[in-house]
């Protein structure tokens, strides 16, 4: 078991803390050589998707990671990470990995509602805490995408094969059950 956590920008440390607390070894992915290692799972953290997308290309990590995702490497993508996976962005022309057939709206809650905390049902896990920070949401999901959670009628979590995309930040609720990180590790153990 080795979980690669993209560590070019954003909230990657919190994911590493959560995964290590659950006993999963992690490595930070900072350069091409890191990506070429054997991985059992991949975390794409929150942050700024435009910056992450640029750094992925500048650091020559983009193609190798995209190939691993397409080959079925389990992915936990939060917030900006979800934007990286989306095949379409409704308010941005530039897509990144584009491996998940979802249309995502960036900064979808507007400025004032950009950050909020709530609690909502997540398929199979019951009620989980959800922290949103300048969050996107999924406007529409294509064939084969399973919706896992909605808040106010908007899709905030979905799964497509082994790609798990969340609009919120489970790594910021570490005092809680870490239910979503456990769910992801179960995907990696299969
Ligand atoms: N607003 C960010 C973006 O568009 C995502 C915010 C986040 O990851 N917390 O990339």
Residue 94 region, left (φ>0) first, then alpha (ψ -120 to 50), else beta? beta
- State how many domains the chain has: 1
CATH number for the domain that contains residue 130: 3.40.50.880
Residue 151 region, left (φ>0) first, then alpha (ψ -120 to 50), else beta? beta
Residue 183 half-sphere exposure toward CB, CA atoms < 13 A: 24
Range of the structural domain that residue 50 is part of? 3-189
The whole-number pLDDT of residue 190 equals 87
State whether the beta carbon of 49 lies less than 6 angstroms from ligand 1: yes
pLDDT digits (tens, 9 = 90+) for 29-79: 999 999 999 999 999 999 999 999 999 999 999 999 999 999 999 999 999
For residue 32, give the 3-state DSSP assignment: helix
pLDDT digits (tens, 9 = 90+) for 118-151: 999 999 999 999 999 999 999 999 999 999 999 9
Distance of alpha carbon 117 from alpha carbon 133, whole angstroms: 9
The whole-number pLDDT of residue 177 equals 83
CA of 75 to the centre of ligand 1 (A): 17
Strand ranges inside 7-153, DSSP E: 26-29, 41-44, 75-78, 86-89, 100-105, 115-122, 126-133, 137-141, 146-151
Residue range 23-31: mean pLDDT, rounded:
98
pLDDT digits (tens, 9 = 90+) for 69-117: 999 999 999 999 999 999 999 999 999 999 999 999 999 987 766 789 9
CA distances in angstroms from 125 to 14, 112, 141, listed in the order given: 21, 29, 21
**pLDDT over 70 for what percent of the chain?**
97
> What is the atom index within ligand 1 of the atom nearest the CA of 169?
9
**26 counts as catalytic:** no
What's phi and psi for 41, nearest 5 deg? -165, 165
Contacts of 88 (CB under 8 A, 6+ apart): 95, 98, 102, 103, 104
**Two tokens at 103?**
């249309």
User: 15, 26, 79, 96: which one is catalytic?
Assistant: 79
pLDDT digits (tens, 9 = 90+) for 5-19: 999 999 999 999 999
pTM value?
Answer: 0.97
């Amino acid at each position: 078991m080795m979980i690669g956590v993209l560590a070019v920008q954003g909230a990657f440390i919190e994911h590493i803390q959560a995964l290590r607390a659950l006993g999963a070894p992690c490595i930070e992915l900072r350069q091409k050589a890191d990506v070429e290692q054997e991985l059992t799972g991949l975390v794409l953290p929150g942050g700024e998707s435009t910056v992450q997308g640029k750094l992925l290309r500048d650091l020559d990590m983009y193609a190798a990671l995209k190939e691993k995702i397409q080959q079925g490497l389990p992915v936990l993508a939060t917030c900006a990470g979800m934007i990286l996976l989306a095949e379409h962005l409704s308010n941005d022309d530039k897509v990144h990995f584009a491996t998940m057939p979802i249309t995502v709206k960036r900064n979808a809650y507007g400025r004032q509602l950009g950050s909020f905390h709530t609690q909502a049902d997540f398929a199979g896990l019951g009620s989980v805490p959800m922290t949103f920070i300048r969050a996107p949401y999924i406007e529409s999901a294509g064939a084969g995408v399973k919706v896992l959670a909605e808040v106010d009628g908007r899709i905030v979590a979905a799964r497509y094969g082994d790609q798990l995309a969340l609009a919120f930040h489970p790594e910021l609720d570490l005092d809680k059950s870490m239910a979503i990180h456990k769910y992801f590790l179960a995907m990696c153990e299969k």
